Amino acid sequence: MRILLLTAFLPPVIGGIERHVWTLARALADRGHQITLLGFATGTAAPGASEVDGVRIVRVRTGGSYLPVLYQDPDRPHPLPLSDPLVSRAIRQELEHRTFDVIHAHNWIVNSALAPAARAGVPVVMTLHDYSHRCVTARLMQHDAAVCPGPSPARCVSCAAAHFGALKGPAVVAANLWSARRRIRGIAHTAAVSAAVAAVVDDLAAQVIPNFIPDEIVCDEITRVGPDAPLLFVGDLVADKGIDVLLRAYRLLDGPPPLVLVGRATPELSADLPTGVELLGALPHEQVLPLYARARAVIVPSVWSDPCPTVVLEAMAAGRPVIAAASGGILDMVVHGLTGVLVAPGDVGALAGAIGSVIGHPQAARSMGVAGHHRVRRFTVSSVVGQIEQMYADATAQHRREIHHVG
């Protein structure tokens, strides 16, 4: 098939979504599909086309990038809840000069694809990696750091005003509500990365197709570690990811092993770390993967409903037990007592108890790591990409039926 993939950021700007899309692009190319991956030209990357690992990459300037006041970080001009005129034009030009069977968009960039795709007669599918279809902050967390009980006009306007500003917030909510109606009408099929996301975006009738990892990072043999092996946290060191909860829990432990933190950190956090904590900062992904094999356990203490954190899968791929918050997509991946230990999000005492239990029972911890190593096979390229190919086939077949019916 000829597939146009759309995502906001491209390598070397790499986060969880970007890694997912890049892995998907290469896997589809390896399976014989013709892949064009279109995303934003950010930082020093110039607009234009190139080819990497059999994937044609197109970088485009966004209209939003000319309005840096819209963003907290002007170097990362996230998609807007409306169609971006420059991105939409670039997609239209791709459709005019090349033939595609399907467009696969990830999150809000889909808004820029709907009109060009409708004119070209190409079906659109979307993967939702977060809650942005219903929540403009994509997190389902209120501005006071409490878990949102569910979107509502008054609650969303209040939260968006606190997040984006008193003037921009209500406008962003209104724009997303309007675009949501267009998404419902214009998207042929929607995939959600977890049951938690699918439940929130029920108006899209999303099927669950989880995040996945390359088969080759699943270790052939689980490395044994000693009592001095560190605990490991990987991710942005921010409140949503539960870093404050983790550090408070670590302080409660009696003589724990070292705790290694990998990810972007604030200066305030760096200055107030307890003894035994080592901050490595943000590292390239190829330098992070070996750390899992050397860890005693991997901790994922997110306080928000983390949609489908890849760090869980990477820990399981290395045969490591996962100590995590019982929420979001984590519930789809970690089986409590079998592949890891789940605790209530934000519960410092419970997290400390879970860490202490895993440290104190090394044989049980190893058994959980082995079970996770077996379970992670269902979250690999070889297990999941076929489901995405089937989504493409369903979308194109539905599109042909609709054309035949109209004709």
Same-domain pairing of 284 and 307: yes
The reported pLDDT for the residue numbered 71 is 52
The reported pLDDT for the residue numbered 74 is 55
CA triple 130-205-139, angle to 5 deg: 15
**CA 392 to chain centroid:** 21
Same-domain pairing of 337 and 289: yes
Per-residue b/e over 326-354, b at no fewer than 16 CB within 10 Å? ebbbbbbbbeeeebbbbbebbbbebbbbb
CB 332 within 8 A of CB 194: yes
The reported pLDDT for the residue numbered 343 is 98
Q: Which residues contact 214 (CB under 8 A, 6 or more apart)?
A: 23, 27, 380, 381
Same-domain pairing of 289 and 388: no
Same-domain pairing of 151 and 225: no
Distance CA 58, CA 122 (A): 19
Mean pLDDT by 10 residues, the chain (407 residues): 95 82 97 97 86 95 71 66 94 97 97 97 97 93 82 88 86 93 96 97 96 96 94 94 96 96 86 91 93 98 95 98 97 98 97 97 97 98 98 95 73
Same-domain pairing of 402 and 306: no
Same-domain pairing of 231 and 245: yes
Same-domain pairing of 167 and 278: no
What is the DSSP code string of 167-220?
A: THHHHHHHHHHHHHHHHHHH-SEEEESSHHHHHHTGGGTPEE----B-GGGS-S
The reported pLDDT for the residue numbered 75 is 62
Same-domain pairing of 183 and 302: no
How many domains does the chain divide into? Answer: 2
Same-domain pairing of 167 and 136: yes
Distance CA 260, CA 276 (A): 9
The reported pLDDT for the residue numbered 99 is 97
Same-domain pairing of 268 and 391: no
The reported pLDDT for the residue numbered 68 is 60
Provide the domain limits for residue 313.
216-379
The reported pLDDT for the residue numbered 162 is 87
CATH of the domain at 199: 3.40.50.2000
Same-domain pairing of 70 and 188: yes
Tokens for 126? 């979307």
Same-domain pairing of 175 and 278: no
pTM of the prediction? 0.94
The reported pLDDT for the residue numbered 368 is 98
Distance CA 305, CA 85 (A): 32
The reported pLDDT for the residue numbered 407 is 57
The reported pLDDT for the residue numbered 261 is 97
Which of 38, 404, 6 lies closest to 187, judged by CA? 6
